[in-house]
Structure 1
């Protein structure tokens, strides 16, 4: 189905997200959960509408609500009122952006992350060893560890797009937020939006991700200066890239391959043990605090 070979960033498929159209209904979020058989996450309450608060192993798409302040001019029956610090809520449907040369795939030491001819970046759970390099390498904070220790994220509904269907989230949107099309057409539409005054994210990003992503976002300029700055990092600098390159250099026929495998598995074991100790330490501190509170 998929392999580790990046198609040209100008070929394949893409989704143009017209954020101005988003009404925050979360239909896309529910469709993603349903199609991919993910259990609905426990509802939690926070100061924002975002729920869950971020992507998770069981939540591959989340509508993130950003509160921004900007100047507004309201008109009514010939009169106008200027509001200098009006509050707006900007919902941004968020998932893996499927980078042109995905750092997560380049960082995986066992090749568990594949790329389809269309450009979908997919983690093969059966091959994942849970090392977490993909999460470290991702500048968008996408791959998340599940209860089984493996990492999960949006697959671009590769099972659908390879059968002539749009991604599940795209298909259910009632507000025409998403345009699922070829990369060539998506770029043209995005440039047209940019020419009309909208801000666009995803066409010319850092070379670390290949200079482009396959989920391209457009939003009115006065909103985007704040909302996009909150949602997307300006530049990604991640240490895991050097680790991946070090692994590649020793992956040569014979002993080198074995050494690379042993090294990778050793790092995985160390990482898991470190996470376990941190969790156990946190649990111990919590139990100690509870005991102290009861004694008081």
Structure 2
């Protein structure tokens, strides 16, 4: 039986990401790739200057850049002058490490583990490449590698278990990331919120357990980046289908056989649902 055991929400670690300190240098990206031994590949810039354009099986952390405008007034001896101030906000992004990770609940073979530190980790040797983790993730984090398996940020749990900070946290030259206990991270975030800053990662949908271990804070000038990158309501359209998977157990069958049965059953369910939708709309199947 695939059973998911979660630490208490008050146990383990968390990271507060202060966007007001980020200069977009990508040192965190490079440190992540180097520490985890991910291969470098030729990439291109995206429309928001991210390079690579998005997360991949080899790029577990990517810095995105968002533009916003605000009206400013400059007072000079001749009077006041009002103009539009353009602000660029870099946003480092990786797995959010949800309190109750839907990717782990969706995995039919239990390949996604939640460690005592509350790091959500995909065990590649157990992954069957079904892709349910990516479908279930409201942040679209897990990515398929060339070997057919899925990969993502591990919270550098190997470093944490040896008394070290995550590689990206250690590499940041401006102190964007505050790595601490989750209780302290939540306290810092709530204090920032009380001071009028935008906060993401607290009081979210129960689909992800109500919050994330990576918590973002930003001033009002940079808050729009949070809106652009992170969903207000972190759920997915296939939530009901994913929930069905979490407690499945078939005595006498191997995990692989169970996974194949689930995949086939889910594919059949989707096909039948499409047929029903076509029939309801009076259209023709193609």
Q: Same fold (TM over 0.5)?
A: yes
1:181 paired to 2:193: no
RMSD, aligned α-carbons: 2.5
1:61 paired to 2:74: no
Cross-structure match for 2:14: 14
- C-alpha displacement of 1:78: 10
Cα separation, partners in 2 of 1:88 and 1:145, compared to 1, 3 Å = same
User: Is the Cα contact below 8 Å between 1:112 and 1:127 reproduced in 2?
Assistant: yes
Cross-structure match for 2:49: 49
Cross-structure match for 1:170: 169
User: Is the Cα contact below 8 Å between 2:109 and 2:255 reproduced in 1?
Assistant: no
1:195 paired to 2:228: no
User: Taking structure 2 as the reference length, what is the TM-score of the superposition?
Assistant: 0.85
The separation in 1 between residues aligned to 2:104 and 2:246, in whole angstroms, is 13
For the residue of structure 1 that corresponds to 2:190, the secondary structure is helix
Q: Name whichever structure is richer in helix by fraction.
A: 1
Which one of the candidate residues 233, 240, 244 is aligned to 1:246? Answer: 244
Cross-structure match for 2:226: 228
Aligned residues: 266
Cross-structure match for 1:264: 262
Deviations 1:3-52 (A, max 9, x none): 94111112210000011000000000000010001112313134432111
The separation in 2 between residues aligned to 1:200 and 1:46, in whole angstroms, is 26
Cross-structure match for 2:214: 215
User: Is the Cα contact below 8 Å between 2:205 and 2:235 reproduced in 1?
Assistant: no
User: Is the Cα contact below 8 Å between 2:107 and 2:245 reproduced in 1?
Assistant: no
The separation in 2 between residues aligned to 1:121 and 1:78, in whole angstroms, is 59
User: Is the Cα contact below 8 Å between 1:104 and 1:134 reproduced in 2?
Assistant: yes
The separation in 2 between residues aligned to 1:154 and 1:245, in whole angstroms, is 23
For the residue of structure 1 that corresponds to 2:221, the secondary structure is helix
Gaps of 5+ in 1: 271-296
User: Is the Cα contact below 8 Å between 1:27 and 1:172 reproduced in 2?
Assistant: yes
The separation in 2 between residues aligned to 1:77 and 1:28, in whole angstroms, is 44
User: Taking structure 1 as the reference length, what is the TM-score of the superposition?
Assistant: 0.82
The separation in 1 between residues aligned to 2:100 and 2:78, in whole angstroms, is 53
Gaps of 5+ in 2: 269-286
- C-alpha displacement of 1:145: 0.5
